Amino acid sequence: MPIRDCQGLTGAKAVWDFTTGDARRFHDRAKLMLHAARSFNAEGIAPDFVVLLHGAATKFGARSFEGTKFAGDDAANLPEIHATLRDLSALGGRIEVCEIAMQRSDVPRASIMPFMEIEENVFVNSIALQNRGYAYIPVT
């Protein structure tokens, strides 16, 4: 069944601003984001999604929490989180991790997943993308 609000769209641009450090919440919202991308694809609409990871969400860009500020946090569902983000990336989504947040959280560059990009300050990216017409979706 077609989505009425999508009629006439050829593309859908959104910047998903993740700051939550809660793994359950992060994964739930990431799965909803992936569902949205797939829904747009099903409607013949090209999704152009950019995911920003900063603050406590920085940890979900890392291969593990070992040696970081998040070392004591539960990482049980980290592989599932990475799989969801990898699936979004395979659909053309970009995942950008804030280097400033990485430094503040002791997350080394080598720990970031290979399908993610490191950006110096994702606040700059967020502002630029919103000025280019991307819908802003905070995930706190």
What pTM was estimated for this model as a whole? Answer: 0.96
Residue 2 has pLDDT above 90, yes or no: no
3-state helix, strand, coil in the chain (%, to 5): 45, 20, 35
Average the pLDDT over 6-12 and give the result. 96
| CATH class, range 10-139 | alpha beta
Helices (runs of H) and strands (runs of E) counted in the chain = 4, 5
8 A C-beta contact, residue 39 and residue 3: yes
Express each pLDDT in 50-90 by its tens digit: 999 999 999 999 999 999 999 999 999 999 999 999 999 99
DSSP 8-state assignment for residue 122: H
